[in-house]
Structures are given as C-alpha cells and as structure tokens.
Chain A
Amino acid sequence: MVARTVAERLFADGSLGASFFCSKDLKDHCDLKLIFPTLAFQLALQYPGFRRQFVPIIQSNPDIVHASLRAQMEKFLVEPLRSADISTVIVIDALDECRDEGLESTILPVLGQLVSEIPGVKFFITSRPEMHITAGLCDPLLQSLTDVFVLHDVESHTVNNYIRCFFKRELSELTQRHSGIEGWPTDEHLDSFCRGAAGFFGYAVAVVNFIERKFQDPLDLLHMITESPERAIREGESGFKAYTGLEPLYMSVLQASFRRNGAEDDDMVRPILSAVALATTPLSLSAIATLLRFPRDQVLVFLKSIQSLLILPEDPDHPVQPFHKSFPDFITDPTCCTDLRFFISPDCHIRLALCCLELMDKLLKKNICSIPGNTLNSEVGDLSRKIEECGIRGALVDRGTSTSSWRNARPRM
C-alpha cells in the first residue's frame, strides 16, 4: 500500500523509473531473477537514453537473464544507467514475498555492492521485517547507504489518527454508492474500527474492501466487523504468523454461509476452499469444477455463498481469488480456523495432488497438439493456434496439473 502510493506519486510527477511489486501468489512476481530484467525493461521504455545503452549490452550478453543477480544488476541496470547518466527512482515492493531461502537476503547485498555506482538512482524498497531481510539490511556496504524506516516505530496516536481519517473518508464515499447506510460512519463505527485496526493500516484497507463487496449487505458486514473480537497479534509483530484482524470475520462469513446450505454440501466445502486457497496460480470456476469433478453449477452456488471472501469474476473461465491474502493463511492454520469444517488440513493437499494426477492421466496423450514429426516448436508457424485448439493451456496449466501450481507445492503429511 505504501509502495503503491509512493509509486503513483512518483509516476504522477514523472520521476518513477521502474517498479516491481513482489507477490508470493504470482509466479512471475516472486522470482528474484525477474526483478532486474523487469526493471530494465521499464527503464528502457521510460528513457530513450537508457534504451540506447541497454540494447547493445543485451545483444552482446544474450544469456544475462540466466546470470547471477550481481551480473544481472551490473548489465541490466548499472551499466546503462551510468552511461546514460539518468537520475530516477526505482520502487520494489514487498521484497519478503520473493522466494529467497537463505538466512540472508540474496538481493540486498548485491544492491549494497553496486548501488554506489549509480548515485543518481534511488531505490525505495518495502518489506515485512522477515529475518533474512533484516539480516540483509545489516550488510555493511548497504547500511551506510540506506535509510531504514520502521513503520511499527511510528507513534501509535499518529497512526491511529491516519487510520481514523482513512476510515472516515472511505466509508463516507461508500454512502454515495450504497443505499441503506446513510449517516455512515458514526463516531461509534469509527471507534470500533480503530480499536479493531489497533494501529495496523492493512486492516483498515482490508475492512474497507470487505464492506465494499457489492454483493453482500454492507450493514451485515459492518455488524460482523464491529462484533468480531479483536486480535492481539498484528502483521509484522510476530516472526511466525501474520494476522490482519480479519480472521474472526472469515469465520463469521463461513459459518453464516454454511448454516444456510444443506448437509450434502459438506463434502464440497473443503475441496473447493482448498482449490481456491492453495493454488499458486489462481484457478477459474470451470477449472475447479473439472479438477475436483464437481458439477460446475454446484461449484458456482458454493462460491457465491462465500463471495464476500473472494474475487469472483462473472466469466467462469477467469480466475477466482481470495479477496485478501490472509484468507489462505487463515483456513490453513488450525489455531485460527477452529471450525474443522473449513480447516484445510494436510489431507486436502493430498486430495488435490490426486485430482491433478488423475486429470493429467485422463487428458495427456501423444502429440496432443498434432505437431508434425521432427519439428522444433519454433518451426511450427501456428503453434499458438494449435495450443488454443487442443485446449492444453486451460486444461493442463490453469487446472493446476503442474505440481508447482499449488501453494506449499506439495501434499503435506
């Protein structure tokens, strides 16, 4: 949120060079090796001077995308930026969401070694205080060049004032778009929300998004939020779990939804919830139905019953996603999700793995795209059309049949 606002403001005044928003939920957004190439691509679009330097460097180093992060930064950023003498700002958001399994961040020491060679370029980087990031920031080269601003160190009354202003502005705007909520927000609402937020801005944003769900009565949602017990642990304050304060709300929605549904839905609840919550690449409604071998209509009814928790597109072939990242964390954590009807236990991973393998077994066949023998992919002129015609992109990729498509990536025992 902070990085997005900074990037928007920099973009508005023409000083944003490039940005990379990391996300563990998107395969292309959690790979450290894609950060520098992406930034370089954006810089090349933004600055003709950069482009003139960058193109010959890439032409003479075609394998650089596979090189180390240091080599990538030198070739993709340092050399062209230095040669073109560009001053700009680069934003990297949520660095902790990138896959980086070492004890210390891999990318921060690289920045420490090379950033002094491009003094006209400033990096704005945000991250949760994960251990490897904190350790990376202690790199001696980086320390002298970095200003670290810890959000949790801001005085609580300052944060609370901002949160109160945010709630007031956003909820006042909501009254323009919804009927039946005139007079929002009252002081009691604001007090209740601010108590719930407990200084955590992410909660405030999530709550506003939640109430904005157009398909559910805002008054119901307001009631759920104000009645939810507060949580003591907040995002970033614990080294192990990130709670947003929305967890009691999730439980309320799930329990309210499944009081209305019949017992026959019980067998569908956890498989569908796990397909939504565990897919690294979000699956569409059609894909979930095919993968789990449930009737599409029933899956739709199920998803609609909890749609205040989801981004549920009208097109059944578009991906269904949790509306907030904390939802998958909630339903996979037995200490949070105490109603076992909804808890995604390790056996749900196993069931999904089985469904993937069985679907692949059913659909995979020899020369699935009818490509002529002894032909390289690059020699097939209408390969894209053949891929569309045989439907493998939808059937074998979107439906999560690659085992790498699942969060945590494997069935956990």
Chain B
Amino acid sequence: MSTTAPADVERRSKLHDPIEAYRRMFEIRTFEDQIMDLFARGLVHGTTHTCQGQEALDVAIAASLRLDDAVACTYRGHGVALALGMTPDSVLGEIMGRQSGCVGGVGGSMHLSDPDVGLLPTMAIVGAGFPVAAGAALAFQTRQTDQIAVCVAGDGATNIGAFHEALNLAAVWKLPVLFIVDNNLYGEYSRMNLTTPVEDLAVRATSYGMPGESVDGMVLDTVTDAVRRHVQRVRAGNGPSLLVAHTYRFAGHSRADQASYRPEGELDQWRQRDPVKLQREALSGNADAATLDALEAEVVTEIAAVIERTMAAPEPPVASMFSNVWSPELQMAGGH
C-alpha cells in the first residue's frame, strides 16, 4: 500500500501558486484523457467515470481547504483526489487494480481515499456523501475544533433523499459543513431539466435556511473565490451552506458512454469555455507561452511515466482480499 505522505502533502501545498494550480488542472485533464484511452485499449477494467470539464472546481476545493479538513466525494473522484494531493501513481495504481494503488488495488476507480489529505473513501452510491460529510462536521463540532467538512457531489444527487435529510440536519445542528454541487448538467444519461424542476440548484438551500449560491465553475479564480468565501464562513461557525458550481461533463457518464443523448453542438459550445484553456489564457500576464508549453510537456511526460510504472506494478496477492475486513483483533483471531 502506498502511503506516500510527504509526496501528497507536498503536492497539496503547491496550489497557491497560480501556475502550479494550472499544472494540476492540466495534470487532471491529461490523466483523465489517458484513463479513457487505457479503458478503450482494455487496460482499465470494469468501469470508470472521468471528470474532464470539472478541473477548476476540483483545484479550487483543494486550494481552499486545510489538510485536516475532511472531503466526501463521489465515484467521479479522480480529479478531486489528484487536486487534494494524491499522487497520480497512487490513483492510477488503484484504477488499474495494482498494489501501488491507494488501497492496494481492491477498490478500483470508484474507491479512492487518502486520509493524509483529508479524502474519505469515495462513494459509488449517489448522494451517500452528504450525510457522511455532515457526520465528519459533527465530529469537528463535538470536539470544538475549527476543521470543516466538504461534500462534493453532482447535480443528480440533489434529487436523492440523503441530500435533503443531510442539509436539514446540518442546518438545525449548525454543522461546519460545506455542500458543493458540481452541476455538470447531466445525471447519468439524463439532462438535468428532465429530472429536476429547478434550474438553479442553489435555491434548494432556501428550504433548509442556509445560504445558497451558484457560481461559474469553469473559471478557476471565480470558483476559487467562491469556495474560499464559503469555507471561511463555515469555519467561522456560521453553519452550513450550499455552493453550486456550473461545469460541464465533457465525457460520457462512464466507461464507453459516447453521450449521444446530448443536443448537437452543446459540447462544442461548452468547449469554448474549457476551464483548462481559460486558466491558460488567464495566466498570460504571469507566464509566456513557451513556459506553459514546457509545463504541459512535462506533465504529459510524467503521466506517461506513471502509466509505465503502473503497468509494471504487481497485482495484489490473494491475501489482500482478506485484509482490512475486520478490526485488527478480529482479523488476528482469523476473521475468515
């Protein structure tokens, strides 16, 4: 198991530099494109959910939180994991079912975690993260620390009961939790308007007496500013809030989904507002094109090396399917 604490924590600390923030966004994009390629080539098994188009929000969350804050995230979590600091080796190792993965290869694409950077195990059940994040916040409130919890989930998840119950509970108990909805317009294969009667999901906060705000999720500075404001407000003891970031899911829902249900031209229109491209443009005052080209080339080379290392990494032994099922004393007693 790879508990590369220094590497992930160090990666996390870099995001305050706008160029490094861009590097991370470009890394997530490159990583996800490569995952789709590996999947198409049969080298990633099972299923996988990529997050191209959502990189600005992922990096904004990571840049706004402390290492001792807690994050609950979904199965579309590669970007959040990388942004929070998890190494590409640890994430890809898990996605490819290798011992080098964050849980040694028994979890897979939908189940990433790294307590060193605050990432709880990512959940493959829609909406499961809302109450879990509220519970993490309950622990912080009980211990009277100034840590906070964040739940990041998709627009589709706001139609599940757990969203509503968790927001209500967090509001009445004034828990230090920030609920972030990554509104990428699609819940699985359905466009949001077919499943959800309100266009602006932030209005759902009103029923629970908490602030709700919608923000452009494609512009790193804009979304980072919004996440920071909400984080500060929650950390100051003002109770929970709901932040909705408007993004777009450039890829399909999962696996080989070509997303043919999208209206023609919609993807191209959103590609004009590609968050990676926009951030590169925003950096024109800080870095010249040659510098950014070199940075991008470095990332591409690094990810290629990660893939090579991961392909060569061993698969987990049979014993690993029996590990970590029970508490250590029961495990020692021969839980199986």
A and B, one complex?
no
- Residue positions of B touching A, CB distance < 8 A: none
- Residue positions of A touching B, CB distance < 8 A: none
